[in-house]
A and B are shown apart, each in its own frame.
Chain A
Amino acid sequence: MTTARKAPAARGRAEAGPKPVSYREALTQAMREEMQRDESVFVMGEDVGRYEGAFKVTRGLLREFGERRVVDTPISEAGFVGIGIGAAMSGLRPVVEIMTVNFSILALDQIVNNAAKVRYMFGGQVSCPLVIRMPGGAGHQLAAQHSHSLEAWYTHVPGLKVVCPATPYDAKGLLKTAIRDDDPVIVLESEGLYAKKGPVGGPDDLVPLGRAAVRRRGGDCTIVAISRMVWVALAAAEALAGEGIECEVVDPRSLRPLDLEALATSVRRTGRAVVVEEGWPECGVAANLAARLYEACFDWLDAPIARVTSADVPMPYAKNLEQAALPGPADVAGAVRGLLGREGDA
Chain B
Amino acid sequence: MREMFATMWLIRRFEERAAEEYMKGNIGGFLHLAIGEEAAVVGSIAALRPTDPITSTYREHGQALARGSDPGAVMAELFGRSTGLCGGLGGSMHLMDRERHFYGGYGIVGGSIPLAVGLGFAASYREEDAVAMAMFGDGAVNQGVLAESMNMAQLWRLPVVFFVLNNQYGMGTALDRHSAETDLFRRAEAFDMPARQVDGMDVMAVHAAVADAAHMAREERRPCMIEAVAYRYRGHSMSDPDTTREGSEKERWQARDPLVTFERVLLGEGIITGDDVKAVRARAEEVVAAAARFADESPPVPESELARHLYANPWSEDPRGSAVMPS
Q: Which residues of A contact B103 (CB under 8 A)?
A: 86, 89, 126
Contact partner of A76 among B94, B112, B148, B310, CB < 8 A? B148
Contact of B111 among A82, A83, A258 (CB under 8 A): A82
Name the A residues within 8 Å of B122 (CB-CB): 86-87, 90-92
In the assembled complex, the CB of B320 is this many whole angstroms from the nearest CB of chain A, namely 10
Against B, the Cβ 8 Å flags (1 = close, 0 = not) of A100-111 are 000000000110
Of all chain A residues, which has the CB nearest B97? A125
User: A46 → chain B, closest Cβ, in Å?
Assistant: 12
Q: Which residue of A113, A123, A260 is within 8 Å of B85 (Cβ)?
A: A123
Give the number of residues in B that approach A within 8 Å (Cβ atoms). 54
Cβ of A81: which chain B residues have Cβ within 8 Å of it? 114
User: Per-residue 0/1 for A245-258: is the Cβ within 8 Å of any B Cβ (1 yes, 0 no)?
Assistant: 00000000000011
B323 near A82: Cβ-Cβ < 8 Å: no
> Do residues A85 and B310 form an inter-chain contact, with CB atoms below 8 A?
no
> Which of the segments A189-197, A290-298, A302-310, A312-320 contacts the partner chain?
A290-298
Report the minimum CB–CB distance from A192 to chain B (whole Å). Answer: 29
Q: How far is the CA of A2 from the CA of B231 in the complex (A)?
A: 66
- Residues of B near A291 (CB, < 8 A) are 323
Contacting residue for B107 out of A113, A158, A210, CB 8 A: A113
**Residues of A contacting B53 in the complex (Cβ-Cβ under 8 angstroms):** 90
Expressed in whole angstroms, the Cα–Cα distance for A109 and B143 within the complex equals 12
B117 interface residue (CB < 8 Å to A) = yes
Are the C-beta atoms of B121 and A87 separated by less than 8 Å?
yes
Cβ of B102 to closest chain A Cβ, rounded Å? 10
B180 within 8 A of A: no
Residues B99-134 near A (CB distance < 8 A): 103-104, 106-108, 111-123, 125-126, 132
Segment with Cβ contacts to A, from B15-23, B31-39, B149-157, B265-273: B149-157
For the complex, give the distance between the alpha carbons of A126 and B311 in Å: 10
| Interface residue from B94, B114, B132, B319 paired with A82 (Cβ < 8 Å) | B114
Which residue, B114, B120, B309, has most C-beta atoms of chain A within 10 A? B114
Given that A73-B152, A120-B89, A181-B313 are contacting pairs, would A82 and B113 also be in contact in the complex, using a CB cutoff of 8 Å?
yes
Residues of A within 8 A of B121 (CB): 83, 86-87
A159 at the interface (CB under 8 A from B): yes
Task: Known contacts A86-B121, A89-B118, A89-B119; decide if A113 and B315 are in contact (CB<8 Å).
Answer: no
Binary A-proximity of B24-55 (CB < 8 A = 1, otherwise 0): 00000000000000000000000000000101
Are A79 and B145 touching (Cβ within 8 A)? yes
Chain A residues near B145: list those with CB within 8 A: 78-79, 82, 109-110
User: How far apart sit A142 and B322, CA to CA, in the bound complex (Å)?
Assistant: 38
Is B317 part of the contact surface with A, judged by Cβ < 8 Å? yes
User: Is A97's CB within 8 Å of the partner chain B?
Assistant: no
B312 contacts partner chain A, Cβ-Cβ < 8 Å: yes
Q: Is B278 an interface residue (CB 8 A)?
A: no
Interface 1/0 per residue, B299-317 and A, CB below 8 Å: 0000000001111110101
- List chain B residues, Cβ under 8 A from A323: none
Contact between B312 and A182, CB atoms less than 8 A apart: yes
A72 CB to nearest chain B CB (Å): 10
Instruction: Tell me whether A109 and B152 are in contact in the complex, defined as CB-CB below 8 angstroms, given that A87-B121, A182-B312 are known contacts.
Output: no
- Across-interface contacts of A295 in B (CB, < 8 A): 322-323
Cross-chain contact of A127 among B85, B120, B132, B312 (Cβ < 8 A): B312
Is B87 among interface residues, defined by CB-CB distance under 8 A?
A: yes
Asked whether A86 and B310 contact (CB < 8 A) given A209-B315, A296-B322, the answer is: no
Q: Is the CB–CB distance between A158 and B114 below 8 Å?
A: no
Contact with A110, one of B89, B111, B126, B312 (Cβ below 8 angstroms): B111
A158-B319, A182-B312, A183-B312 given; A82·B117 CB < 8 A: yes
B5 to chain A, nearest CB (A): 30
Residue A74 CB within 8 A of the other chain:
yes
Residue of A80, A81, A82, A110 with most partner-chain B CB within 10 A: A82
Q: Is A114 close to B, CB under 8 A? A: yes
Bound state CA distance, A116 and B120, in angstroms?
A: 21
Residues of B within 8 A of A119 (CB): 309-312
The verdict on A258 contacting B144 (CB below 8 Å), with A86-B122, A92-B122 known, is no
Cβ of B245 under 8 Å from chain A: no
Q: A122 to chain B: closest CB distance in Å?
A: 4
Contacts of B94 in A (CB 8 A): 121-122
Partner of B86, one of A71, A84, A122, A158: A122
Query: Which residue of chain B lies nearest to A113 when distances are taken between CB atoms in the complex?
Result: B108
Closest to A91 in B: B122
**Min CB gap A47→B, angstroms:** 15
Tell me if A83 and B149 are in contact (CB < 8 A).
Answer: yes
- Residues in B with CB closer than 8 Å to A109 are 108, 111, 145
Known contacts: A83-B149, A122-B89, A122-B90. The answer to whether A90 contacts B119 by CB under 8 A is: yes
* B98 contacts chain A at the CB level, 8 A cutoff: yes
Contacts of B89 in A (CB 8 A): 120-123
A124 and B114 within 8 A (CB): no
Q: Mark A7-32, 1 if CB is under 8 A from B, else 0.
A: 00000000000000000000000000
A68 on the B face (CB < 8 A): yes
Contact between B114 and A79 (Cβ–Cβ < 8 Å)?
yes
- Identify 9 new A-B residue pairs, CB closer than 8 A, beyond the known A90-B119, A109-B111, A121-B89: A74-B151, A78-B148, A82-B145, A86-B119, A113-B108, A123-B87, A123-B96, A182-B312, A260-B322
Task: Please name 16 pairs of A and B residues whose Cβ atoms are closer than 8 Å in the assembled complex, sorted by A.
Answer: A78-B144, A79-B149, A79-B151, A81-B114, A82-B117, A82-B118, A83-B121, A85-B118, A86-B121, A87-B118, A88-B118, A90-B123, A109-B108, A109-B145, A121-B90, A209-B315
